[in-house]
Structure 1
């Protein structure tokens, strides 16, 4: 029998042994109690932020050592989520590189400055406008989905911001939060409180609401409806800052001069990375009609190259997809002209197709053709006009012309454009949904000096 991974809540840097557990796959989850929630909140209120220079030093060391999560850990996680281990390795490698160079990342978003006298020196952050950034706000992090690096990235952002945080890890990807928090403790850093909260009982469902109500700001991940379900009962308090990472409506635009084979390769990769359920997964593509035949043939060819298999297999590109997600995607595909159906859907649709405005949690691409004289950027913008974000998270633009790319980017309603790259390209350095999270979590103080 495979060994069960024992997860634990962590408060004040201490691993707590629960009175009750639940087994899901090879994971044993602690059942969080009202006392755990109260203790975590009390800790958050009185927690002192770690010095910024210490945070930078420790995060960089953890990234350079790259030992906080191992290959066996990834295999266990792959068994639960179905995400290919190859994808998770690449994601962890990318986040470790970001951590190893964390000071450079911070300096891209502001200026590190030492203040105080010799006995009380401290490092502070000034933003690009010279405003002093201060931490100290209590923050609730509600993580969802199964991207392996979401948890360490968010915990690192909380530490950079000096926020007093409570983190609820994802039930689908629970391991990286636990292991990364343990790595911080081993390096002498007081981490945010970690609480595994399920929604299996009425009491547990109330815990997230309690924590949101008692904190000053919240960071939330999930599908639009999920986020709305969690937040709707509480409304929006004037003093509570709410940062939601919603579904992405990401996609691509292919201009007539594009390299069709390259575009097809990148689109398929963007559609199937991590089983196509990331916020930046490619879900729709607007293609010049004269490329239609070549594009469909190239996309089918690239899709057929994908290796199907067990998520723990080294070669697997597409792991174990969610059967319910397939049923949902199939309902949308039934009204389209499907030209590929082998554990991912490729379909051509008219410009009025409702699926262009949807976020299917399954590897699927709706291909929409535009005629000469039509503007693909306008079509892309229309597809996100009535969404929560009012923009796509990421849009790949395929063209041989840098001027064309820059012009399209200047008009695109999106958070990020990528030239001849998949929408899912790993990138922890640039803004996500237009934010660099750690600066959003901090208070800004304008410094006025008499002249």
Structure 2
């Protein structure tokens, strides 16, 4: 299969890329030492963005600004209703610039433009949900401690939060963190991926337009070693929230432990969809194709493992392959595209090598298995690997590409064991019309989310996060704002107090 990608229609191919600066203390700025970065679109092979990159000195400036804004500025002391108003205004501004933001994410990450539009709309919805939580955040009181004592538990903002986000969902994932930190009254330093920074910079513009005080949200662009590492270890930072690979997450936790910062980690996944013979097989096939190939498989929640009952495996795979053949791979800016580009040539090679290794281990490549010739950018064919054994790397390790590994089972207990044979525990899906079967698998699976007769639906009201090596903590849900707070206990005593000191 050969794709025909023509980048000549891109404005960036004619007039050149836009240059983006950092936001520190309410001002747009270059880095102290003049570092620069640039991004070539993975779908078009054209330079689409230039950035002013930061370094340790810029992190120091941002941390100082965030600390001043927290201790001296109005944000933590504002009425919750006033903070909520800023978040709601931000959501409205996101909606107004949805097409622009979606296009930036499609250009820089390679995701399909139609999908990017949905993510931007979803991000606006999350900002509105966070605004509602700002007004409902509260503590507790205890009037049951005796006549002379009253206990009050306050929820106070934790302080300065470092927010580090990945390249695969540039605008959506920052929305799963920043608005909840702001709703709690925190200040923040945000570092997007150095490959997909543009939409986060636009978010900074929207926050300023919405009335966010200077220094409350600072955006520092750059690489992990130059910027991210210093955000994790900086003594003025009270909490780190990170989304990315498990390998980098472990290093981040270790670095943050030196100053005992609170950490929240949303990491990798090797997620299974389990299909029983009594399932709605047509719906399950559609969900399995979606789960495997959505965002070109570059998704921590991807349904990268199919665990299907032997009684229906042959028919299910035939139907899957027929539907997968209709999945349109192509130009991310084409509204009809379902699978866009792979983030970098190096990552494409890594995905291809994982499939080659699986073949060497004894698995079979049923469809796909290699990159697609395109003329510009880099693309991967939707791939299905069958005959997979649970001990194989392809069954256990996160490939982060459009690759589905297929395993078969006969008993419920065997299916549950296969779900849990990885170090990850982010999500899973189970397909069965039998409520006993569905509940049994859902309760037993060691994952943070289990979908029953659906896959990868998401709502701001529902917590998201993983077990085992898929992360620490949860995002979204009614507790999301509380995660950015500390509890403070205050005890009030009235009347005479019995003296501890006894004369004589």
Residue 208 in structure 1 maps to residue 228 in structure 2: yes
Given the two structures, how large is their TM-score scaled by the length of structure 1? Answer: 0.86
Given the two structures, how large is their TM-score scaled by the length of structure 2? Answer: 0.77
Alignment correspondent of 2:109: 81
8 Å Cα contact 2:355/2:394 also seen in 1: no
Alignment correspondent of 2:86: 58
Separation in 1, partners of 2:445, 2:412: 17
Separation in 2, partners of 1:31, 1:294: 52
Report which stretch shifted further, 61-70 or 269-278. Answer: 61-70
Residue 341 in structure 1 maps to residue 384 in structure 2: no
**Cα distance, 1:173–1:421 mapped onto 2, change above 3 Å:** farther
Residue 360 in structure 1 maps to residue 399 in structure 2: yes
Alignment correspondent of 1:415: 448
Structure with larger Rg: 2
Alignment correspondent of 1:292: 313
CA deviation profile, 1:175-202 (whole Å, cap 9, x unmatched): 2211112111111113411100225xxx
Report which stretch shifted further, 32-41 or 60-69. Answer: 60-69
Q: Give the CA deviation at 1:446.
A: 4.3
Number of equivalent positions: 423
Separation in 2, partners of 1:128, 1:171: 45
Q: Give the CA deviation at 1:401.
A: 2.7
Q: Give the CA deviation at 1:40.
A: 0.7
Q: Give the CA deviation at 1:88.
A: 0.8
Q: Give the CA deviation at 1:414.
A: 0.4
Report which stretch shifted further, 254-263 or 433-442. Answer: 433-442
Q: Give the CA deviation at 1:360.
A: 0.5
* SS state at 2:88 partner: helix
**Cα distance, 1:36–1:449 mapped onto 2, change above 3 Å:** same
Q: Give the CA deviation at 1:152.
A: 3.0
Runs of 4+ deviating beyond 6 Å = 127-130
8 Å Cα contact 1:62/1:68 also seen in 2: no
Report which stretch shifted further, 66-75 or 20-29. Answer: 66-75
* SS state at 1:67 partner: helix
Separation in 1, partners of 2:282, 2:154: 48
Q: Give the CA deviation at 1:337.
A: 1.9
8 Å Cα contact 1:251/1:392 also seen in 2: no
RMSD over aligned CA atoms reads 2.6
Separation in 1, partners of 2:196, 2:459: 19
Separation in 2, partners of 1:72, 1:139: 28
Alignment correspondent of 1:15: 28
* SS state at 2:89 partner: helix
* SS state at 2:97 partner: coil
Alignment correspondent of 2:147: none
Q: Give the CA deviation at 1:365.
A: 1.2
* SS state at 1:282 partner: coil
**Cα distance, 1:371–1:44 mapped onto 2, change above 3 Å:** same
Q: Give the CA deviation at 1:89.
A: 0.9
Residue 442 in structure 1 maps to residue 480 in structure 2: no
8 Å Cα contact 1:68/1:180 also seen in 2: no
Separation in 2, partners of 1:187, 1:56: 11
Alignment correspondent of 1:327: 352
CA deviation profile, 1:43-87 (whole Å, cap 9, x unmatched): 122213343322222222332454353324422432222111111
Alignment correspondent of 1:432: 464
CA deviation profile, 1:62-120 (whole Å, cap 9, x unmatched): 3245435332442243222211111111111122223234444x28xxx82xxxxxxxx
* SS state at 2:162 partner: strand
* SS state at 1:26 partner: strand
Q: Give the CA deviation at 1:287.
A: 1.2
8 Å Cα contact 1:350/1:369 also seen in 2: no
8 Å Cα contact 1:333/1:345 also seen in 2: no
Separation in 2, partners of 1:354, 1:103: 43
Q: Structure 2, unaligned stretches of length 5 or more?
A: 1-13, 40-46, 143-151, 370-380, 466-472, 495-504
